[in-house]
Amino acid sequence: MSAMTPSLERTTLPSGPDLGGGPLGMIRAVQTFSSPLQAMTDFHDQYGDTFTLSVSGINIVVFARPEHLHAVMVEHAASFYKDADYTDPDRGLARFVGQGLLTSDGAPWKRHRKLVAPALHARRIMAYADTMSEYSDAMLRDWRSGERLDIAHEMMNLTIRIVAKSLFDVDMHGALAEPIFNAMREIQEMQGGGGWQGLLPTWVPTPSELRRRKALREMDELVYAIIAERKASGQDHGDLLSMLVAARDEDGQPMSDRQIRDEAVTLFLAGHETTANALNWTFTLLARNPEAEAKLHEELDRVLGGRLPTLADLEHLPYTERVVKEAMRLYPPAWSVGRVAIEDVQIGEYFLPKGTRAALHIYHVHHSPALWDNPEAFDPDRFSPEREASVPRYAYIPFGGGPRVCIGNHFAMMEAKLILATVASRFILRLNPGQTVEMDAGITLNPKGGLPMTVTARH
């Protein structure tokens, strides 16, 4: 959509907070982005669903209405690229994941998407179901009834092992996973603004910068070793890694090790933390809502009778699915996604000149009283077939939408249901009386400081 299109209504951007420029503006920006969800919720309360946040002269238009999200993600998808939080090679996600699917745009993105899609296709992922249940079962074998565990750590460990095994045929147990975990933690911290050190250029060797570089180096060593091993073996494992190694472009050229590494790290990142967080919030909500928990237990006991869930069981576990969906409504793991307009574009009543950034607030759409009855209540039956049919379009979009919709959405749903079914069949997870679980919003929505819970065997 070009600026020349005569039908564009050139209205101004929505009003909103201006953090100002100069050193003071930067300090305000660091403060704001050190707890971004809280800050955005405050702005949202003050300015409404749509506002412009100005930071050092950069305009970020925040959208939280389904029709605006649909316009950006679908109708005008070609007018937007991912924003600098993803693509900036110095401070964005790209510093860690390079030019993988999450952080690339245009023709390279299209090529990668085509390459990765078959490995995550609904039919292909059925083969991963057994890994999901068996790895969950292995985790539970280490749990002792009555002990207190950091469930966030358990879920991260489990989901990263499942991605590694499913997509790269690597069993990443114990210390082997450490470099990936460390790097993922650094990414979270960096995306959270990095405190006052976030004000400094990245060539300044602050302690956090040095730690970040070390984490990146160690993760790369591990990932390049996995790629080299696969290339040396010459074997086709029928997984994503084999597909990436065998891929050729139009000129018959293979992907470079760097390109394969970028895609692998992207999938490690995108493919584990989101699902782990969906489960963290699911267990938190179940602990706070005994009635829903009892309904879940009834379904699991009736259908599974204590055995491990299989792919075939999933269609008989509708309430399990509703619990996961409702947890992702209240706590969407990808709570906000960002874009930048690469040309002038009209979104609803707003005209966004080229270069304007857009933040799509999935969290606030999911909590809107205009779209949901009693939006703060945990009510899995909102996703019963009758009630789900009346949810407005784009009012529920935990996986985004349009051409950049989550490529792992089927994988993630299947995984979350199988893990929940396995764990909740065998254990009850409890918070301490009065224990609060705060949100820590980086790229994904984490429980702040981990999720200590007491696990008690059910049978």
406 in contact with ligand HEM (CB under 6 A): yes
| Residue 244 sits in the site that holds ligand HEM (CB under 6 A) | no
Yes or no: say if 400 and 337 are a contact pair by the CB < 8 Å rule: yes
Q: Is 346 helix (H, G, I), strand (E, B) or coil?
A: strand
Q: Whose structure tokens read 């924003």?
A: 83
Please say which residue, 120 or 340, places its beta carbon nearer to ligand HEM: 120
Minimum separation from the CB atom of position 122 to ligand HEM (A):
13
Please give the size of the binding site for ligand HEM, defined by CB under 6 A.
24
Give the Cα separation of 286 and 430 in Å (integer): 9
Q: Which of 274, 280, 336, 368 binds ligand HEM (CB under 6 A)?
A: 274
Q: Which residue number, 159 or 425, has a Cβ lying nearer to ligand HEM?
A: 159
Residue showing tokens 């930048």: 340
CB of 61 to ligand HEM, least distance (A): 15
> Whole-number minimum distance, CB 267 to ligand HEM, in Å?
5
Query: Residue 337, interface with ligand HEM (CB under 6 A)?
Result: yes
Q: Integer distance in angstroms from the first to the last C-alpha of the chain?
A: 61
Q: Which residue has the tokens 């590694």?
A: 164
Q: Across-strand partners of 429?
A: 455
Q: Which is nearer to ligand HEM, 102 or 287 (CB)?
A: 102
Residues 101-140 that bind ligand HEM (CB under 6 A): 101-102, 113, 120
- 418 lies in the binding site for ligand HEM (CB under 6 A): no
| Shortest distance (Å) from residue 114 CB to ligand HEM | 10
Which of 16, 17, 92, 398 is in the footprint of ligand HEM by CB under 6 A? 398
Among 340, 285, 321, 342, CA closest to 398: 321
Find, among 91, 19, 27, the residue nearest to 55 by Cα: 19
Q: How far apart are CA 115 and CA 247, in angstroms?
A: 8
Nearer to ligand HEM (CB atom), residue 17 or residue 192: 192
Q: Between residues 164 and 455, which has the closer beta carbon with respect to ligand HEM?
A: 164
With contacts defined by CB under 6 A, name the span among 55-63, 223-231, 265-273, 430-438 that binds ligand HEM.
Answer: 265-273
- How would DSSP label each residue in 5-63? -TT---PPPPP--B--SHHHHHHHHHHHHHSHHHHHHHHHHHH-S-EEEEETTEEEEEE
| Coil, helix or strand at residue 250 | coil
Figure out which of the listed residues 333, 380, 442, 447 binds ligand HEM, where binding follows CB under 6 A: 333
**Can you give the binding site for ligand HEM, defined by CB under 6 A?**
101-102, 113, 120, 163, 266-267, 270-271, 274-275, 278, 333-334, 337, 398-400, 404, 406-408, 411-412
